[in-house]
């Protein structure tokens, strides 16, 4: 069965076309994506601007055409933090539905964490034991832990790399001052530590895992293998190496950051706040390293949909 998964993230709109059936790993067949940067298209009241609405509508219409051209029998559409937190989210999604015919569901932060956890569990399997999973998105940070396919604990915090960058890293040519950096670091660590007991009280994890673009970029900066080496290569983000890099990243211009391995020009300004969040997660939960998982939220959405369908579908 061919499925299309339309992921409206805080940074990017991404349609992933997969060939999937029960009992098998989803096989990517085609990918179509565009930078939307919805987390940065919010006005002073927290509403998605007309420019953001137009970009989302145009992308959704194009993605629907791609899904039809590629023979998708079904398209699963969802939006995450930027749309979820926007004060006009209902109006935005209604506009998209009226213009394109596509209904986009809004995922709660806890569901983001839960579905990402499911993808990580399926990737590593039962032998991984108790998992702790961290996902830095554009608008939010998701955390989850557990021993089963569903996490024992799962929650979301407004600590996405794009969200923080739009607040603290507005100057393309100069890094924020020391006071701003200190304030950002304090805010991140206080937010994560506030509910850290949810994960800690459940017991030590056997494997700590990170997913999604920000963690992959940081791991690449710290020496992990490039994506071209394939998804089966083991990649990690060591805390010691990351902590050596953080002061250097803070002092780099956006152009210098975009020249680092694994960093795209349109996300270069998000690397420093993303690094602060990653370092805080590892410090607070006493994790010497995080292993990078190539599966994340989109795969979790696909896997849950397949679980809901008969495993006889071929």
Percent of the chain's residues with pLDDT above 90 = 85
- Each residue of 87-124: pLDDT tens digit? 999 999 999 999 999 999 999 999 999 999 999 999 99
pLDDT at 268: 93
pLDDT at 172: 66
Q: Among all chains, which residue has been given the structure tokens 């930078």?
A: 35
What SS3 state is found at 4?
Answer: strand
- 32-36 contact pairs (CB < 8 A, 24+): 32/62, 32/63, 32/66, 34/59, 34/62, 35/11, 35/266, 36/8, 36/9, 36/11, 36/12
DSSP state of 308: H
Rounded to an integer, the average pLDDT of 42-54 is 93
More confident residue, 313 or 254: 254
- Each residue of 139-155: pLDDT tens digit? 999 999 999 999 999 99
pLDDT at 171: 74
Instruction: Give pTM, 2 decimals.
Output: 0.94
Beta strands, E only, the chain? 2-8, 12-19, 27-35, 74-79, 105-106, 131-136, 141-146, 153-157, 207-211, 236-238, 289-293
- Each residue of 67-83: pLDDT tens digit? 999 999 999 999 999 99
Residues 6+ apart with CB under 8 A from 163: 10, 39, 81, 82, 138, 139, 140
More confident residue, 310 or 257: 257
What SS3 state is found at 7?
Answer: strand
- Each residue of 186-203: pLDDT tens digit? 999 999 999 999 999 988
DSSP state of 102: -
Is residue 314's pLDDT more than 60? no
Average pLDDT, the chain: 94
Is residue 311's pLDDT more than 50? no
- Each residue of 5-33: pLDDT tens digit? 999 999 899 999 999 887 788 899 999 99
Rounded to an integer, the average pLDDT of 252-276 is 94
């Amino acid at each position: 069965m061919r499925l299309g998964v339309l992921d409206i993230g805080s940074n990017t709109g991404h349609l992933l076309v997969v060939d999937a059936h029960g009992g098998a790993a989803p096989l990517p067949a085609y990918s179509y994506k565009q930078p939307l940067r919805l987390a940065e298209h919010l006005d002073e009241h927290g509403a998605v601007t007309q420019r953001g609405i137009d970009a989302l509508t145009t992308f959704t219409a194009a993605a629907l055409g791609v899904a039809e051209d590629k023979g998708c029998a079904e398209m699963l559409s969802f939006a995450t933090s930027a749309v979820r937190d926007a004060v006009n989210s209902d109006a935005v999604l209604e506009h998209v539905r009226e213009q394109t015919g596509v209904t986009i569901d809004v995922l709660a932060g806890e569901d983001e964490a839960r579905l990402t956890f499911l993808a990580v569990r399926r990737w590593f399997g039962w032998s991984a034991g108790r998992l702790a999973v961290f996902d830095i998105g554009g608008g939010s940070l998701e955390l989850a832990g557990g021993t089963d396919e569903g996490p024992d604990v799962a929650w979301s915090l407004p600590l996405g790399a794009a969200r923080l960058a739009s607040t603290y890293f507005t100057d393309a040519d100069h890094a924020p001052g020391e006071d701003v950096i200190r304030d950002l670091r304090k805010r991140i660590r206080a937010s994560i530590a506030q509910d850290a007991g949810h994960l800690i009280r459940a017991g030590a994890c056997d494997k700590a895992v990170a997913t999604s673009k920000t963690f992959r970029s940081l791991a690449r900066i710290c020496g992990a293998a490039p994506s071209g080496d394939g998804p089966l290569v083991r990649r990690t983000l060591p805390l010691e190496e990351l902590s050596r890099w953080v002061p250097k990243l803070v002092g780099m211009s956006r152009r210098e950051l975009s020249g680092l391995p694994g960093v795209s020009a349109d996300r270069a300004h998000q690397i420093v706040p993303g690094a602060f969040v990653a370092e805080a997660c590892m410090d607070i939960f006493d994790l010497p390293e995080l292993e990078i998982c190539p599966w994340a939220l989109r795969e979790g959405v696909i896997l849950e949909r397949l679980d809901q369908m008969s495993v006889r579908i071929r």
